[in-house]
Amino acid sequence: MIRKKKVILGICAVVFCSLAGVAYHYLDYYNILPKKSHTAEEFNITTITSSVDFNKNGVDDYTDILLGAKKEAQNHPKYDGTYYVGGYPPDNIGVCTDVVWRSFKNAGYCLKDMVNADIANHTDAYPKVNGSPDPNIDFRRVPNLKMYFERHGITLTLDTDKIEEWQPGDIIVFSSTHIGILSDKRNSDGVPYLIHNSGQLHREEDALLKQKEITGHYRFDASKLTASDLIAWHD
């Protein structure tokens, strides 16, 4: 009888440890557990800044885009992709693409108008539009943003081992279905955190390598665009 109890207790202990291990892995993978972040300086990485300060607030564009993404992460809007006449959802609503235009808004750019103008002038370059632009939603579609940044951004490496080339404010696209902005925080391997919205608990998290395949890595450089390509945000 005693031996039988020991066997049962042993089995229970094994099951408990297994479940605890699975739970820990799940909580760690989805960034629910507290985690220490690191800085670029810890990896001897120089943070790149933009030569442009579009909104003339004393902060360069890349930093402004980063800070805009952080504001969006802190705001933590409910994940909801509802179509809105006029294009813009309310501040407490958003999807992954809303992180991007709101980040650009913080730097003074009206990304909606910039994307819509490019689509109007080069509709054939945007397969997702299917020849019928819709200014209310086109700027909130990942394939359209990917095409816009391919046309007007700097295309960068997809090799995440080159951690120094992944910089705060960069735009990342995953399999043309998800998009986010790189953070200035990094994990223990030097890989940047991702600021994004897929309805998850933490919107700025160690998630760059936990998404689908990375298919786009871009940096927006307004100095390479003409004045007619740049449209300022007006409240």
pLDDT digits (tens, 9 = 90+) for 8-33: 655 655 555 555 444 433 345 556 66
Token representation of residue 192: 């940047």
Q: What is the pLDDT of residue 15?
A: 54
Dump pLDDT digits (tens) for 83-129. 999 999 999 999 999 999 999 999 999 999 999 999 999 999 999 89
Q: How many CA atoms lie less than 13 Å away from 222 in the CB half-sphere?
A: 24
The one-letter amino acid at 182: L
Mean of per-residue pLDDT scores for the chain: 90
Q: What is the pLDDT of residue 20?
A: 45
Instruction: Report whether 62 contacts 49 (CB < 8 A).
Output: yes
Angle between helices 111-121 and 142-152 (to 10 degrees): 80
Neighbours of 185 (CB within 10 A): 20
Compute, in degrees rounded to 10, the torsion defined by CA atoms 102, 181, 85, 123: 120
Q: Is the pLDDT of residue 147 over 60?
A: yes
How far is the C-alpha of 122 from the C-alpha of 225, rounded, in Å? 16
Confidence category of residue 4, pLDDT binned at 50, 70, 90: low
Q: Which long-range contacts (CB under 8 A, 24 or more apart) does 70-74 make?
A: 70/183, 70/195, 70/204, 71/102, 71/106, 72/98, 72/99, 72/102, 72/103, 72/195, 72/197, 72/203, 73/99, 73/195, 73/202, 73/203, 73/204, 74/203
